[in-house]
Each structure stands twice: as structure tokens, then as C-alpha cells.
Amino acid sequence: MKKVAVITGGTKGIGKAIVKKLAANGFDIITCSRNSGELDDLRSEIENSYVGIRVLTRQSDLSLKGEVNDFVKFIVSSKSHIEILVNNTGIFLPGEISSEPDGHLETMINTNLYSAYHLIRGILPMMMHDKHGHIFNICSIASIMPYANGGSYSISKYAMLGMTKVLREEMKPHGIKVTAVLPGATLTASWEGVDLPPSRFMKSEDVADAVFSAYNLSENSVVEEILIRPMQGDI
């Protein structure tokens, strides 16, 4: 049976790099984004670049529980064997807890944490039935090290790492691997306008390579955390 990977937020940055890495290695892709045009472009790019690969897309705002549930139904209706789930959807709004605009916490908790929580709960029955699969949660350096102007973003990412650790323990008896991915500053749209050279950032492709390498281990082993920083340290 053809292996399928579900990657949320697959049209840009780390998500797109993971989509391309997995497609290049024979995975069909199911992904979502809030932008339907970007989804169409991604599907055309991947299917034209990798012969025989199928890309299923759905426009979704995963900060809304109802749309997460609709995305789960879309995945289930595809009757796919889900080998990999990558929870990559996220948003960064700068600010400090003492002064950030009201609603920042709710927005980032909904997008960065609850989207993954509800999607995992929707897909796990399929993986648990197969007694197989690998879940990657894209956390952040901010999951372990608060920084200035990180505010509620760090709160959401600390929570994401905590949820990943809990899930790892729960899935041990079911043969499902769970990995937290903690990237440092990566050259994505989140850093547009910053006056720093590209060499100061990590590449999205490096994160994708690390994810695929962790997936490729034998059934006897699991990488619980992938911590990657820019060569010259955090920004």
C-alpha cells in the first residue's frame, strides 16, 4: 500500500521543505493551508516534479476546531494509510506578556497547539489500528528557551513540547513513534525584513532532512527530540 504523509501548513517554509523531501522519497501527500492558490501551486509543482506522486489538498484554517475536524474527515475519506503526520501549522505574533495585544495568547494557542491536539486525536485511531506510524510535532527553540518579545508564542510552544512528551509515553504500547522537532531561526517568511544575511539562518531543507532521517530508523529506535540551531547560535 502506498505510504501517505499528512503535513499541515505545507505551502511554505519548513512545511514545504518536508513535503518535497517526502514526495521525493515516494510518499503521497495530504496537506492544507489557508490559501487555496498556494495549495494549487504546490500540487502542480510536486506532481510535475515527482512522477506518480499524488497530492491531496484542502483549504483549511486549523485555528478553528471545526475546520480541523473537516480536515480529519477529508483525510479519512481518502482511505489512505497514514505513515507520517507532521503538525507544522503555526503563527508567530511578537510581544511581551505584560504588553502584547489582548487575544495574542488565544490566537497562538489555537493555531500552534490546539490544531495539533485535535488533528492528532482525529488521526490516531487510524494509526493505532495499524499499530504503526510516526508523528512529528514542529515545536521551536522557544519551547525550551524564552526570549525577548516571545511572549505568548513561547507559551504555546512550551505547551506543544509538553504535549509531545505526553503523547510519546501514551503511544509506546501502540507502536507509534512520536518526535518533537525544535528548530532554531530558519530562513522562512517569519523572518522577512530582518537585516541579517541568509547565512545566519538555518535552511528549511536541513529540518526536512533531519525529519526524514529520524523516520528512517529501525522499528527498534525512536528519536524523541530533534534540536537544531543555526551554526553561529540563536538569533
Per-residue pLDDT tens for 113-169?
999 999 999 999 999 999 999 999 999 999 999 888 899 999 999 999 999 999 999
- What does the angle CA 183 – CA 71 – CA 130 come to, to the nearest 5 degrees? 80
Burial of 191 (0-12, 13-18, 19+ CB in 10 A): middle
- The one catalytic residue in 50, 114, 153, 158 is 153
For residue 198, pLDDT beyond 80: yes
Q: Is the pLDDT of residue 192 over 70?
A: no
CA torsion angle for 151, 156, 161, 164 (degrees, to 10)? Answer: 180
Q: Is the separation of the CB atoms in 185 and 191 below 8 Å?
A: yes
Is 50 a residue of the active site?
no
CATH of domain 3-228: 3.40.50.720
Q: Could you tell me if 123 and 72 are in contact, meaning their C-beta atoms sit under 8 angstroms apart?
A: yes
**Residue 229 to residue 160: CA distance in whole angstroms:** 18
What pLDDT was estimated at residue 190? 67
Contact between residue 3 and residue 23 where contact means Cβ atoms under 8 Å apart: no
How many alpha carbons lie under 13 Å from residue 48 in its C-beta half-sphere? 6
Mean pLDDT of 101-109: 97
Tell me the pLDDT band of 96, cut-offs 50, 70 and 90.
Answer: very high
Residues 6+ apart with CB under 8 A from 164: 137, 139, 178, 179, 180
